[in-house]
Chain A
Amino acid sequence: MGRFFRIVGELLITCGLVVFGFLAYMYWGTALRANSAQQTYTSELTKQWAAANPLTALAELRTIPAGTPFALLRIPQFGQAWQLAVVQGTGVSQLLLAPGHVPGTALPGRVGNFAVAAHRVTAGNPFWGLPSLRKGSMINVETITGTYEYTVTSGPTRVSAGDLSALAAVPFHPGEQPTQRLITLITCDPPWTGTSRVVVTGVLLRTLPRAPGS
């Protein structure tokens, strides 16, 4: 009998260690993968932008393949060093490495809603601080065509996980014709769960076009 309990105990301890290992992987392992991908993306973009003509590159932005980085997201409130490359697509394999542009939503600086989804935790916790953004917080997006400075107009707003109306061209009013140039950032809430989403919306404040060759 004592032998039986010892084996059960050893099994339970082993399972516990395996689960702790999984938590460590979710926290540090996924962050390591995302960070190395981010470094690659950022250097790729910087090189690409220095070489290309922003005018001819405009057309290329229209058809970005899934998983391809095309923008740099900066939120000064999170610190000067806070910068993430945004890729096209919001599938599991894309969000594993970077915030993703919701396909079908507007491109940065365009009329409509530039929607970006990212993990709250895991993959380096890209949108951990999203609920701390307030009206007036800046969200800067740089692409090959220039830098687009958005300011937060509403949020953080909590919506249910299935409610995607925040991603509409006019946020929360699906079907309406957009007139403004907006940005929407969306992530999971509460952290670690898929119960709800938290959303922040902003409007384009000004555009800094890229000078050719800069």
Chain B
Amino acid sequence: MYGWLWRRLPGGPGARLVQLVLLLVVVGVLLWFVVYPWASLHLPVDPSGLG
């Protein structure tokens, strides 16, 4: 999976590394600000709310 991604990215090893890090940051930001807040509302973790 990651090997496949590495081979698909254009440029030399340095450029590929930069792209991978950027991709990781984008995925991380998406998870932290969109996916996790959404999931936290729909999972029964500490459902202290009443009614």
Contact = CB atoms under 8 A, between A and B. Distances in A.
Contacts, number: 73
A106 to B, nearest CB: 15
B46 A92 contact: no
Range of interface residues on B (Cβ < 8 Å): 10 to 19
A191 interface: yes
B15 interface: no
A147 interface: no
Interface in B1-51: 1-3, 28, 31-32, 36-37, 39-41, 44-51
B47 to A, nearest CB: 4
Given A11-B1, A121-B46, A122-B45, A21 B36 contact: yes
Interface of A: 6-7, 10-11, 14, 18, 21-22, 25-26, 29-30, 90-92, 94-95, 100, 102, 117-122, 127, 161, 164, 167, 186-188, 191-194, 197
A122 B46 contact: yes
Contacts of B47: 161, 188, 194
Contacts of B31: 18, 21-22, 25
A98 B6 CA distance: 45
